[in-house]
Amino acid sequence: MDNNIIEGKAIGKIILIGEHSVVYGQPAIAIPFLKAQIKASITKSTSKTKLDAYSFNGLLTDASSNLLGLTTVIKKVLEDFNQTPFGFDIKIESSIPAERGMGSSAAVSAATVRALYKFFNVALDNQKLTDLVNFSEKIYHGNPSGIDTAIVVNEKPLYYIKNQALLEFDYHLDAFLIVTDTGEKGNTKLAVTNVKSFIDNNVSLGNQIIKDLGNLTEQAQKVILKNNAKSLGDIMNQAQNLLSQLGVSNTMIDNLNKVAIENNALGSKLTGGGLGGCIISLCKSKKDAELISRKLLANGAKGTWIMDMRKEKRD
C-alpha cells in the first residue's frame, strides 16, 4: 500500500427475512454479505476535497443528492476533527452496485468513516461508528430501523430488533443462497414511505401484515436453528407474498422469483427495501443453485452470487 493512501473497508448485508416490518419493531434476520466489499481510500491533497464514488467524480461540495448521506457524514467527521472539508481525495471502490438492497449506503459510509479515523489516528469503537453510519442512513432513508448499520458495523449474523441490544444469530444451514441483482435500482426511502402510506390507508390490514411478517421471522429463526432449509423456503415464499401486498415488489422481482421456484428453489423473495434491487433464492444444493443462477441470468437478472450457508463453509 502506498504510505500516503489510507484505506477503510466494509462489507454489505443481506436481510433473510423481516425487511420493512423491522421498521415497526418486529424482528428481522440479516447476515453479512462478504461478497460485497467496499473500500474507501483517502489521500491528503492541497486542493478542495474531491470524491470519486460510483458514477460521480468531482468536488465533494458538488456531489449529487444520492450521495448526500456520504458527503454529510464526511463533512461531520472533518468538523469533529476541526478540519474544514477541504484537502482530501476520497475514492470509493465497490464490488457491488449501489441501491440494490445490499446495504451499500451503510457500507460506503462505514468504510469512509473508518478511513478518516485511521487517517487522524483516532480510535473508533463500534458505538461511535454506529452513530455516524446511522446519521448518514437517516439522510439516505429517512426512518431506518438501523439493521443495515448493525450488520455493516458488527459483521455478524443478527436477529435484530430495533432499539434493542444486538443478538448474534449463530446458524448453520445445509443450503445455498443465491443473491440475484435484478438490474433495477431499488429505492429504500420510497419503499419505506410507500409502506407507511399503505398502513395509514389500510390500518387493520397493514398492521396485520407487519405482525404476520414478524411471526414469519420468528418461525424462520426456529427452522434455521433446526437446519430445516425446506421450511425456511416456504416461509420465504410467504414473506414475499406479504411484501408484495405491501407494494414493495415489482414485475421483475416477481418474474425472477417465479423462475427460481419453477427451477427447484426452496423459496425466493426480495431482500432489502424492494422496488427493484435484489432477490434471494434458497437452494438445496450447490448444483441446484448453479442451475437456477443460470436460469435467472437467462431471464434478465444482471448478476448472481451464490452463498454457502453451512457454518464452516460460509463465504
Contacting residues toward ligand MEV, per CB under 6 A: 15, 19-20, 22-23, 101, 141, 144-145, 147-148, 188, 191-192, 272-273
* CB-nearer residue toward ligand MEV: 229 or 253: 253
Residue nearest ligand MEV by beta-carbon distance: 145
Question: Could you tell me which residues are beta bridge partners of residue 17?
Answer: 29
* CB-nearer residue toward ligand MEV: 26 or 268: 26
Give least dist CB 271 to ligand MEV, A: 8
Residue 116, C-alpha cell as written in the block: 478518516
Give least dist CB 141 to ligand MEV, A: 6
Residues in the chain: 315
Give least dist CB 138 to ligand MEV, A: 10
Cα separation, 14 vs 100, whole angstroms: 10
At 249, give phi and psi (nearest 5°): -90, 180
* CB-nearer residue toward ligand MEV: 32 or 292: 32
* CB-nearer residue toward ligand MEV: 157 or 273: 273
Q: How far is CA 7 from CA 41, 114, 247, in A?
A: 4, 8, 39
Cα separation, 183 vs 251, whole angstroms: 12
Residue 179, C-alpha cell as written in the block: 443473491
Give least dist CB 202 to ligand MEV, A: 18
- DSSP for 88-142, please give it: EEEEEEESS-SSSSSSHHHHHHHHHHHHHHHHTT----HHHHHHHHHHHHHHHHS
Sequence-separated (6 or more) residues with CB below 8 Å from residue 185 = 98, 99, 100, 276, 277
Question: Could you tell me which residues are beta bridge partners of residue 8?
Answer: 40
Give least dist CB 137 to ligand MEV, A: 7
Q: Which amino acid is at 191?
A: A
* CB-nearer residue toward ligand MEV: 20 or 295: 20
- 87 neighbors 44 (Cβ within 8 angstroms): yes
Sequence-separated (6 or more) residues with CB below 8 Å from residue 15 = 22, 28, 29, 30, 101, 147, 271, 272
Give least dist CB 215 to ligand MEV, A: 16
Cα separation, 19 vs 291, whole angstroms: 27
Give least dist CB 197 to ligand MEV, A: 14
Give least dist CB 273 to ligand MEV, A: 4
* CB-nearer residue toward ligand MEV: 33 or 176: 33
* CB-nearer residue toward ligand MEV: 46 or 163: 163
Q: Tell me how crowded residue 298 is: count the other CB atoms within 10 A of its CB.
A: 9
* CB-nearer residue toward ligand MEV: 190 or 291: 190
Residue located via cell numbers 431506518: 144
Angle between helices 104-119 and 126-141 (to 10 degrees): 140
* CB-nearer residue toward ligand MEV: 23 or 252: 23
Give least dist CB 12 to ligand MEV, A: 10
